[in-house]
């Protein structure tokens, strides 16, 4: 019985140590999440304004031609998949990887029909184990990533479409809703849709130098790269939110388990004391 009590006490101590770790990780994730949210929100005005300018130029110059707006017969598709480098983030990675694989299986019969641009070690390792075609990868990103951290991959993905290596480009990431909810999202990045021309009174008219085509030539790749960077920031906020929730649940489960083991320990200890008293009484009665 004494051995059993010591074992229960050892389990309680081990779970208490684990609870301290998960609680600390939850607090760290919460602090990082606030910064990630702020960074994601700060990037939105720039992306929105760039989208407005691009749509304004394209809509005001009907018949404009640009490689990133050309719709071709789809022979090969690129997917930019955003995952995390580390685990302990609940279903964050599993959800987006499952959604990506479902999309691939539904649309492609052969590995030759698509290529993968992967951000995050978890995604890279997942696709490597399945021997899927990884074109480019970026890993070991900081908690507050800068555009420079993914610039090479974003440039390669956009350039591959312009060079007609791929006829479509999709981006797969977890859209941040709140700390508890992250929505796996797969959306088309390229080709861009040509906006419809809208004529209204009071609309300002702009002249572009040297020409709208030349301006779009510079802005469209930047716009595409900005969307990729914005998705990565959304993914980072989702990762930290998922990690905070997972560690919070782990802490609660540890507390619940400690309570159950403590109750078991007290019962075992009480039973041992009762047994000792019974043996003492029995010994005293035997001497009388």
What structural domains does the chain harbor?
2-26+246-287 (1.10.287.80), 31-198+205-245 (3.40.1380.10)
With a pLDDT cut of 70, the percent of the chain lying above it is 89
pLDDT at 133: 93
User: Is pLDDT above 50 for 118?
Assistant: yes
Distance CA 184, CA 238 (A): 10
β-strand partners of 184: 174
pLDDT at 102: 94
Q: What is the mean pLDDT of residues 10-24?
A: 91
pLDDT at 63: 61
- 74 touches 167 (CB < 8 A): yes
Short-list 83, 106, 103, CA closest to 170: 103
- Both tokens of 199, joined, read 């004529």
pLDDT at 202: 44
- 166 touches 201 (CB < 8 A): no
Lay out the sheet containing 134-138: strands in order across.
Answer: 134-138, 114-119, 77-82, 168-176, 182-190
Span of 33-37, 101-105, 240-244 with lowest mean pLDDT: 33-37
β-strand partners of 176: 182
Count how many residues are written for the chain. Answer: 288
With a pLDDT cut of 90, the percent of the chain lying above it is 35
Please report which confidence band the pLDDT of residue 77 belongs to, taking 50, 70 and 90 as the band edges: very high
Short-list 123, 132, 69, CA closest to 235: 123
User: Is pLDDT above 70 for 130?
Assistant: yes
Please report which confidence band the pLDDT of residue 36 belongs to, taking 50, 70 and 90 as the band edges: confident
pLDDT at 268: 82
Short-list 144, 136, 95, CA closest to 119: 136
User: Is pLDDT above 90 for 41?
Assistant: no
Q: What is the mean pLDDT of residues 64-75?
A: 80
> Residue 129, Cα to own-chain centre: how many angstroms?
20
Contacts 24+ apart (CB under 8 A), 177-184: 178/241, 179/30, 179/33, 179/241, 179/244, 179/245, 180/241, 180/245, 182/92, 182/95, 182/238, 182/241, 182/242, 184/95, 184/96, 184/98, 184/99
- Both tokens of 234, joined, read 């959304």
User: Is pLDDT above 50 for 201?
Assistant: no
- 43 touches 229 (CB < 8 A): yes
If you ran DSSP here, which 8-state letter would residue 136 be given? Answer: E
**CA-based radius of gyration for the chain:** 29
pLDDT at 198: 53
β-strand partners of 136: 117
User: Is pLDDT above 90 for 81?
Assistant: yes
What's the whole-number average pLDDT of the chain?
Answer: 84
> Who has greater pLDDT, 204 or 20?
20
């Amino acid at each position: 019985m004494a051995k059993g009590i010591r074992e229960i006490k050892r389990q309680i101590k081990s779970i208490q140590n684990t609870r301290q770790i998960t609680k600390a990780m939850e607090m760290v994730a919460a602090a990082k999440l606030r910064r990630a949210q702020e960074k994601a929100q700060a990037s939105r005005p720039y992306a929105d304004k760039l989208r407005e300018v691009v749509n304004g130029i394209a809509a005001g110059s009907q018949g404009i031609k640009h490689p990133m707006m050309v719709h071709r017969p789809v022979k090969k598709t690129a997917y930019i998949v955003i995952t995390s480098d580390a685990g302990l983030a609940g279903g964050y990675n599993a959800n987006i990887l499952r959604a990506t694989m479902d999309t691939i299986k539904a649309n492609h019969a052969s590995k030759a029909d698509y290529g993968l641009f992967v951000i995050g070690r978890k995604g890279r390792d997942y696709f490597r184990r399945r021997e899927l075609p990884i074109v480019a990868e970026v890993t070991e990103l900081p908690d507050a990533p800068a555009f420079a951290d993914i610039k090479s991959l974003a440039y390669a993905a956009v350039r591959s479409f312009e060079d007609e290596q791929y006829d479509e480009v999709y981006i797969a990431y977890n859209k941040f809703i709140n700390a508890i909810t992250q929505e796996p999202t797969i959306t088309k990045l390229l080709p861009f849709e040509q906006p419809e021309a809208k004529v209204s009174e009071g609309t300002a008219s702009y002249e572009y130098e040297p020409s709208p085509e030349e301006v779009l030539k510079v802005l469209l790749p930047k716009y595409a790269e900005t969307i990729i960077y914005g998705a990565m920031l959304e993914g980072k906020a989702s990762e930290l939110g998922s990690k905070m929730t997972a560690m919070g649940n782990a802490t609660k489960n540890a507390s619940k388990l400690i309570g159950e083991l403590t109750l078991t320990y007290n019962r075992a200890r009480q039973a041992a004391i009762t047994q000792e008293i019974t043996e003492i009484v029995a010994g005293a009665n035997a001497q009388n």
